[in-house]
Amino acid sequence: MALTRERTASASLPAPEDPVDPTARRTRRPGPWLLAVAAAYVTTMLVVVVPRVALGWDEALYASQVSPRVPAGFFSAPRARGVTYLIAPVVHVTASTVALRMYLAVLAGVLLVAGFWPWLRVFRRPATVPLAALVFGSLWVVLFYGPSAMPNTWVALGALAAVGWFVRYGYGASRWSLAGVGAGLAFVALVRPSDAFWLVVPLAVAMLVSRRWRRLPLYGAALAGAALGLTPWLVESYQRFGGPVARLHRASQIEGGLAWHPVGVYYQLRSLDGPLLCRPCTGHLASPVLTLWWLAIPVLVALGLVVAARTRELAATAVPAACGASIGLSYLLTLTYAAPRFLVPAYALLSLPVGVLLGRLVGGARRFRSPVTVAVALVLALQVASQVAVLVHESGDHTTAALGYQPAAAALKRDGVRTPCIITGTDDVPIGYVLGCREEEWRGHNQNTTKAGLLATARHEDAVYVSHRAKPPGFLRGWRRHPLPTPRGEHRWFAFTPPWEPIR
């Protein structure tokens, strides 16, 4: 009976169209093409990003949670533990940033294949999924954050898999599909619970309005997966924040007040080619090429849905489009600041209707197939070239300050700072991660002490205050100033240490 069900499920999936020309024959088996895209994705990250990008502020904080060499930094309400679990195997063994980046780059390539794999048997045209993977994997922000200990790319890859297996279940129920839905949603909820919520909303609507997905086992798999991934966040909410409601309220305060903020669309437009964090968002507009590409996304998605309707694939295409729009709009309309990485999950899911459109163009009418294929290839080549150019720029200019953390920490060690120690001030988390110091903050969102508490601790441990200003705050008057090595083009860094020797 199980074998019969599997055959029935397979038969209900759309079959690839029978190719009639050499180009179509070469793309009849899309699996190897997807693997080729993933290999190019990993190679680009290893060549451009891995050797050049040091750990940033947030990454150092995530790494400190699982490093045996560094005290854990303050973990604020909006964060979740998924990234720390992801990087723990490497961080626990070595402090090498290059080793961590290489591990994450390879893992991102594997999960890119895993995320797009369930879609290979959803669409009739074999080129659809590899083209979607190419469109998504060639974006500079996806390449930049692929080997990164930041949640957005990992949410994107988990969401691709979860939605893909969800759609597959509608075309042929199987235990593998249920397991994929549950595992994908658990992974997304573990890494970023808020994104999991906005991902589940369209899936729940699909389960309510469509008989294809209105099945009890699917409800159970989605609920169990989301609940399993959310459990660590819920447990920590009660342990540290007074419950999930209090934690959400505190997270909203830290994010500037989550509410109706449509100005986020304009802010995101400003940050398309940097800064990596646009807060406050007062910089320049992105280049015209990137601006036009970004504004064209809704048009391309709409055209992909039209094509899908004509090929009877509308349901399979509308689900990822709705999920991508849901996650994307949650950032565009509720935040008062922007960052290019926020929309990576939306780009992943919206790449599928774009892939449907491109697959239709490449495999269209036989008479015009060759010139249209050449035109699509040229457009994609220009897109990839422009994105790689931005990637090279971002991995250089916007990580210059991060590359200065190591020399700054080395200078402080030469000045006599040794563990156990505390550090506070500007860039205290990444410098403290290299130095091995514990973060202490008397102000801001990461406040975990007071001025009096900081001074009391400084009586028993080496203490460092780091700032771009040449003078410390008033309550640290008399502390000795130490100029720190400063990357070219960045604000000067100064460190201040107490005039006394700590009592150990």
DSSP string, 310-369: HTT-HHHHHHHHHHHHHHHHHHHTT-SSB-GGGGHHHHHHHHHHHHHHHHHHHTS-GGGH
Q: How many helices (H) and strands (E) does the chain have?
A: 22, 5
pLDDT at 399: 62
Q: How far apart are CA 297 and CA 307, in angstroms?
A: 15
Using the Cα atoms of residue 121, residue 122, residue 126 and residue 128 in order, give the sign of their dihedral: negative
Q: How far apart are CA 409 and CA 437, in angstroms?
A: 10
In terms of domains, do 97 and 183 share one?
yes
Could you say which DSSP state residue 29 is in? -
Instruction: Map residue 137 onto helix, strand or coil.
Output: helix
Q: Count CA atoms closer than 13 A to 392's CA, side-chain side.
A: 6
Q: What are phi and psi of 239, to 5 degrees?
A: -75, -35
pLDDT at 305: 98
Does residue 479 sit within a domain? yes
In terms of domains, do 164 and 79 share one?
yes
- Residue ending a domain, among 378, 397, 416, is 397
Q: What DSSP letter does each residue of 430-489 carry, written as one string?
A: HHHHHHTPEE--SSSTT--S-HHHHHHHHTTSEEEEEESSSS--GGGTTPEEEEE---TT
Cis ω before 32 (30° cut-off from 0): no
Does residue 502 sit within a domain? no
pLDDT at 200: 97
Using the Cα atoms of residue 447, residue 448, residue 451 and residue 454 in order, give the sign of their dihedral: negative
Q: How far apart are CA 476 and CA 287, in angstroms?
A: 44
Q: How far apart are CA 491 and CA 468, in angstroms?
A: 6
Mean pLDDT, the chain, rounded, equals 89
Does residue 258 sit within a domain? yes
Instruction: Map residue 421 onto helix, strand or coil.
Output: strand
pLDDT at 18: 39
The 3-class secondary structure across 181-246, one letter per residue, is HHHHHHHHHHHCHHHHHHHHHHHHHHHHHCCCCCCHHHHHHHHHHHHHHHHHHHHHHHHHHCCHHH
Residue 283 CB partners (closer than 8 Å, separation 6+): 270, 271, 274, 275
- Number of domains comprising the chain: 2
In terms of domains, do 432 and 376 share one?
no
In terms of domains, do 359 and 444 share one?
no
Q: What is the pLDDT of residues 5-40, one digit of tens each?
A: 433 444 445 544 433 344 444 446 899 999 999 999
Judging by DSSP bridges, how do beta strands 462-467 and 421-425 pair with one another? Answer: parallel
Average pLDDT per 10 consecutive residues for the chain, totaling 504 residues: 40 44 56 96 95 88 95 94 97 94 98 97 92 97 96 98 97 91 98 97 96 95 98 97 96 90 91 84 78 93 97 95 98 93 98 96 70 88 92 75 78 92 92 92 88 94 94 94 82 91 84
Does residue 503 sit within a domain? no
pLDDT at 374: 87
Rounded (10°) angle between helices 82-91 and 175-191: 90
In terms of domains, do 181 and 201 share one?
yes
**Is the whole-model pTM more than 0.95?**
no
Asked if 427 and 401 count as a contact pair (C-beta separation under 8 A), the reply is yes
Does residue 433 sit within a domain? yes
Does residue 443 sit within a domain? yes
pLDDT at 233: 98
In terms of domains, do 414 and 306 share one?
no
In terms of domains, do 364 and 417 share one?
no
pLDDT at 491: 79
Q: Structural domain of residue 81, as residue ranges?
A: 2-397
Q: How far apart are CA 400 and CA 217, in angstroms?
A: 51
Q: Token digits for 72?
A: 């854990």
pLDDT at 9: 42
pLDDT at 22: 44
With b meaning 16 or more CB within 10 Å and e meaning fewer, what string describes 398-430?
Answer: bbebbebbbbbbebbeeeebeeebbbbbebbbb
In terms of domains, do 116 and 28 share one?
yes
Does residue 504 sit within a domain? no
In terms of domains, do 132 and 226 share one?
yes
- Residue ending a domain, among 358, 377, 397, is 397
- Residue ending a domain, among 397, 415, 445, is 397
pLDDT at 16: 43
In terms of domains, do 391 and 413 share one?
no
Q: How far apart are CA 502 and CA 504, in angstroms?
A: 6
pLDDT at 20: 39
In terms of domains, do 410 and 362 share one?
no
In terms of domains, do 334 and 462 share one?
no
